[in-house]
Structure 1
Amino acid sequence: KHREDKPFAVMVADLDTAHALCVIDPAAQRVLVGRRRPVVLLPRRPDTPLAPAVAPGNRNLGLMLPYTPLHHLLLRDTAGPIVLTSGNVSDEPISYQDEDARRRLAGIADAFLTHDRAIHMRTDDSVMRVFRGAELPVRRARGYAPEPLTLAQPAPRPILGCGAELKSTFCLARGRHAFMSHHIGDLENYETLRSFTEGITHFRRLFDVQPEVVAHDLHPEYLSTKYAHDLPDVELIGVQHHHAHIASCLADNGVAGPVLGVAFDGLGYGSDGTLWGGEFLLADLAGFQRLAHLVPVPMPGGTAAIRQPWRMAAAYLGSDAPEELAQRHAERWDAVLAMAHRQVNAPLTSSAGRLFDAVAAVLGIRDTINYEGQAAVELEQRADLTERGSYPAAVTKGPALQLHGADLVRAVAADLQAGVAPEIISTRFHHGVADAIIRVCVMLRESTGVRVAALSGGVFQNVLLLERTVAGLEQSGFRVLTHSRVPPNDGGISLGQVAVAGALLRAGSERSNPVPALAD
């Protein structure tokens, strides 16, 4: 399936087998055995008798229990757990029609088990983490979609939210009901775009919703944005990516705001035309102000810096990078440094995801990725959970507060050169990011009076970071909103877009772009 490092889900016959493989607390067990039967990410036991390739570099396993009679029959006749994965080539939608499956999966599958009943709609398995006794969705699909989400305020007119590009979903809203789609995939090829458009047609017919208003991301090159602009006879509302993240968290919690929203992710198109991703927003559903952000750094090579995290390490550290890192990439090191210095083919970004990438590369954990977010995932997995230390990061004042991520990367490099174990460094970095978030939120509370914080964006799938951040904010007197019904990653963007569009319509706004001016 061309997924060399990405973990597979494992299906087990019963709870006893699950407990033999993983540590399962009561909250996780409730999710595992519940009627929705998602894949649940659980701490694996050190002596788990599974092949290393099932979940390489990961101390968690994605476990699931049978949810069809066929699964029970298969597991009855096998000697142990089985890897269960979707019928598709990586980055393509599931093949759910017999002839299409035989054509596209002939090089993967040794056999095909067909049925005389056609599959009506493809859908992936849902994936959940458990945080403080509640579900933290990573992927919302089978078992959860298309069950409607209840909106705190009704949509004045039927709305379609087109989502983003990665982890694509769409959302149709009518009245108080939001029908968010299953996970579709990354909208980067024709097959996935076709699945996206077919899904919208299916939902429109199934729920009898004919959208009059269409909300979309501001990025002009997203296929979801182009789809929105090609629709006839609809009102378009552009929603800034990170505002949509915070709005999805507000909708998830039934709150209108205002909140201090912390949106940390890979990147998204900012209202100033640059690439954002480490944002502190004063936000409600109808608008936002950008009050603070990570200091922007260049991405040498543009999207190449996403696929090759070592480029971000070079951008952050320059000539101060550890010699071993520079030697690993000696052929291109000087050219990449020059690219970053001159900002040629090196767009600036305030992305928190790229900060995590840089640290993973400095520690030698991951120089090149094979799937989205891999470097950050493996950095979290390497952390020593007994470590209590933290790295400091400066915050400087200006039109917006600026958080200096480079301080964290330099501290990582210094400890590595001093011989500190990467596991300890990883934890200190995570703690440093969390402590910096808390510090900035406290500073912003002093200037705004807002005492509610909302955490969203794919970086907050990281439970180590999330726990430290939530605990610190609560100790500082904040009420903290996190996700429990939709993913914090881009899979929740479509719900946020619908929530923003509904708020603007209720306010009687006629703007086609709901992004206000940046904070003074």
Structure 2
Amino acid sequence: HAQPNACPVCGPHTSLLNRRGEVVGESPLDLLKQGNIIAVKGLGGFHLAVDATNAQAIKTLRQRKQRDAKPFAIMTRNLQAAQRFCMISEVEEKWLTSPQAPIVILAAKDDSILPKEVIHPGINTLGVMLPYTPLHYLLFDQELEILIMTSANISDDPLITGNKEVLEKLGAIADFFLVHNREIYNPCDDSVIRITSLNTPQYLRRARGFVPQGIKIPVNSEPVLALGGEMKNTFCITRQGEAFLSQHWGDLDHYRNYSNFLHGIERFKAMLAVEPQVIVHDLHPDYQTTRWAKNQADFKKIGVQHHWAHMASAMADNGLEGEMLGLVCDGTGWGTDGAVWGCEVLRGDYRCFSRLAHLKYLPLPGGDVTARKPYRMALVYLMMALGQKGLSIAEEYLPALPVPEKELLASSLQKKTFREVQTSSCGRLFDAVSALLGICSLNNYEGQAAIELEDLADTNQTDYYDYIINKEENMWIMDVFPMWQQLVAEIKKGGPVSAMAQKFHLTLIQMFSEILVKLRDETGLNRVVLSGGVFHNQILLTGLMQNLTSQDFSVYQ
């Protein structure tokens, strides 16, 4: 409690403005009921609010914000309102009503009156939060109990925090602006978590409510500044056995995000009264964080491989020490051999690691372009697995693939003159399967193809596809090429997409379990950590943890 918050003289004052910045006397609640879009100033930035039962108003918001498919978060008047739209467990209720008030990913009810196709197209989950400022409560009544509450920043831009700035930047998006006279000095987005079927929280975004709360770590070293990656960056500063993670700064190839990142480092150093002695950066030579680190004089600098960092972070989060195995699955990470890693089994601790196994390499044409276009990766997998036959299959089952793009990629693959970097990315494998099954051919937001593939899977299915695990020059290779012949055969027979989606998930669970058993036999290591963005997939995470636990592994995530 802060007394100034309650003082009518020196406490905060709110104003409702139109697009010209003029004060209007209408009620924000009435304007929302009429279908208007209101930019609402919060604790760490602005939200765009609109009636979540008004499909046309939500479509207008999507059009103005140029956000075609990414799901919107919602805010409900209270817990009882949230329960009318979503299924909520006791653990999820605890997090929803916690002081941190994060967005919690919940299963949506099928009989909800909400227009699913415009709020969360292609998936059956909703990101839900409850009011966490007094102003939020004034936006609801018994008639209006649910709002879209999405971050008001322009795509890829930093959070908007100023009253003048919001009028300038969102004048073409919001109809009205509900502002107050308290400055936002530290931009911070809403935190997002999901409760797994094991009743453990997964942080999709650790920000408001959790930052800058320290995390106990088992290693007490000299102060370290770890810079993070290029996309959705967060940095970390350690002090006396605790790690202090920052909020998200966005993608650092955007200058204003990069500028906020640098200011954030100075703010954290002052807040913690610590001066880091070591700077840790990613191995990728072109990341802004790597370049900045190398330009810093008088510091010890350490380059750390991306997937080893994933493994070590999961170890630290669980308070583990000593050597163990790590299965790390994600979209992109610069490997020590110059390839783009993304499905790796490592052996290591906090001091060193070795790579024991990975998904079979194949070309990554266009790099980040392919990450946005799953149909490209589907073509690569089809041609690498099935040869010329794969090209004809792509022509039939990848309608989104433009002819010139197909011809260029096919020509390079057929001549085997492909100079593109090789990849073992698990994320790109999910993309390829999703595109071939006709689920998602273009990623309008990060992970869309994989998310929709998971959501569509029929969990009653129990079969899986073929794969091969071979050892080549002291490295185990996980090869899913045999799966593609079977997948295509089922598509041609008109098999249900939901069954094929589930069989794909079960293939990975079976393959990962088998390779970990082989490596346990080789190394004698029985502890394994699971890390990387792919393990936000609940089918994969839950199935693999259960499978490994039944085979007497100690599993952590």
TM superposition score normalised by structure 1 = 0.90
* 1:353/1:459 contact within 8 Å kept: yes
2:404 matches 1:335 = no
SS of residue matched to 2:241: strand
Q: Which residue of 2 aligns with 1:2?
A: 66
- 2:484 maps to a residue whose letter is V
Note the C-alpha offset of 1:78. Answer: 5.6
Q: Which residue of 1 aligns with 2:287?
A: 222
2:547 matches 1:469 = no
Q: Which residue of 2 aligns with 1:170?
A: 235
> How big is each residue's C-alpha offset from its partner over 1:362-393, in whole Å with a ceiling of 9 and x where there is no partner?
00111111111111111111111222222231
Q: Which residue of 1 aligns with 2:451?
A: 377
2:479 matches 1:404 = yes
Q: Which residue of 2 aligns with 1:493?
A: none
Q: Partners of 1:50 and 1:340 in 2: how far apart?
A: 46
Structure 1 unaligned residues grouped into runs of 5+: 483-520
Note the C-alpha offset of 1:326. Answer: 4.7
Note the C-alpha offset of 1:298. Answer: 0.7
- Structure 2 counterpart of 1:135, from 179, 183, 201: 201
The equivalences for 1:100-499 within 5 A come to 100-131=165-196, 132-155=198-221, 157-318=222-383, 319-321=388-390, 322=393, 323-329=395-401, 330-341=403-414, 342-398=416-472, 399-482=474-557
SS of residue matched to 1:397: strand
- 2:188 maps to a residue whose letter is T
Note the C-alpha offset of 1:352. Answer: 0.4
Structure 1 or 2, whichever has the larger Rg, is: 2
Q: Partners of 2:237 and 2:71 in 1: how far apart?
A: 32
* 1:299/1:340 contact within 8 Å kept: no
- 2:499 maps to a residue whose letter is I
Note the C-alpha offset of 1:199. Answer: 1.1
Q: Partners of 1:409 and 1:444 in 2: how far apart?
A: 26
Query: What fraction of aligned residue pairs are identical, expressed as a percent?
Result: 39
Note the C-alpha offset of 1:77. Answer: 7.2
Q: Partners of 1:169 and 1:359 in 2: how far apart?
A: 30
* 2:323/2:347 contact within 8 Å kept: yes
Q: Partners of 1:452 and 1:125 in 2: how far apart?
A: 34
> How big is each residue's C-alpha offset from its partner over 1:76-114, in whole Å with a ceiling of 9 and x where there is no partner?
376121010112011111111222222222222222222
TM superposition score normalised by structure 2 = 0.84
Q: Which residue of 2 aligns with 1:87?
A: 152
In the alignment of these two chains, the number of paired residues is 481
* 1:340/1:346 contact within 8 Å kept: no
2:102 matches 1:28 = no
**Residue range with higher mean Cα deviation, 257-266 or 402-411:** 402-411
2:76 matches 1:76 = no
SS of residue matched to 1:314: helix
* 2:466/2:480 contact within 8 Å kept: no
> How big is each residue's C-alpha offset from its partner over 1:428-460, in whole Å with a ceiling of 9 and x where there is no partner?
001111111111000000000000010001000
Q: Partners of 1:20 and 1:161 in 2: how far apart?
A: 43
Q: Which residue of 2 aligns with 1:513?
A: none
- 1:425 maps to a residue whose letter is M
- 2:397 maps to a residue whose letter is L
Moved over 6 A (4+): none
SS of residue matched to 2:271: helix
* 1:127/1:137 contact within 8 Å kept: yes
Structure 2 unaligned residues grouped into runs of 5+: 1-64
